[in-house]
Amino acid sequence: MENHNYITHKTKYMNPYIAGLILGFVLLGAFYLTGRGLGASGAMKSVVVTSVETVSHEKAENSAFYSKYIADGKNPMSSWLVFQVLGVLVGGFLSGALSGRLKLTNEHSPNITSHKRIVMAVLGGMLFGFGSQLGRGCTSGAALSGMATLSLAGFVTMVAIFGTAFLFAYFFRKNWI
């Protein structure tokens, strides 16, 4: 049997309490500097709008949805959310490199194949992305930033996210454990 880092706990991770504290300061900084909280789904929306516009400028221009993001020569990729997500990606790579965890491996449970792990991750990401659009924001935007402003909707969103995850974990746990 393979020796998996997530089972042996040999991988270096940041203390979760310190990481949570840092995340809180980042959120506070975002509110102070931008007047808005954190969010990632808006960056994905910018990528989609830019992709549609690149493929068919006419379709984007005539669409009620896409046109509001490109009207008057606006560039959806100049949104601060795009730069935030790029910063998260760069930060993730730096964190992995500094802790010696930067390698192209597909960690998975011994109970599933590498291919199934990738399929489940992609499927989960697609469902999460679809849900973020239905809910008008991702977890960081709707729940984290919402709770930081003491919004009832933020608290309801967080309960729904973790409640749903708790319910579905029973059925999908064999894919990770």
Q: In sequence order, which residues have a C-beta less than 8 Å from that of residue 78 and are 6 or more positions away?
A: none
Q: Collect contacts of 87-96 with beta carbons under 8 A, ≥24 apart.
A: 88/40, 95/14
Q: Which of 56, 73, 104 is the last residue of a domain?
A: 104
Kindly report the pTM of this predicted structure.
0.70
Q: What is the pLDDT of residues 96-134, one digit of tens each?
A: 888 887 877 777 777 788 888 888 889 988 888 787 777
115 and 73 in a single domain? The answer is no
Length of the chain, in residues: 177
CB atoms within 10 A of CB 50: 18
Q: What is the pLDDT of residues 17-48, one digit of tens each?
A: 998 899 889 889 988 988 888 878 788 888 88
Q: Count the domains in the chain.
A: 2
- Residue whose tokens read 């935030």: 84
85 and 159 in a single domain? The answer is no
84 and 133 in a single domain? The answer is no
Q: Which of 62, 87, 104 is the last residue of a domain?
A: 104
Q: What is the pLDDT of residues 136-145, one digit of tens each?
A: 777 777 888 8
Q: Using CA atoms, how far apart are residues 153 and 92, in angstroms rounded to an integer?
A: 29
Structure tokens at 73: 């020569």
Alpha carbon 156 to its chain's center = 19
The residue segments making up the domain with residue 23 are 1-104
76 and 155 in a single domain? The answer is no
CB atoms within 10 A of CB 113: 11
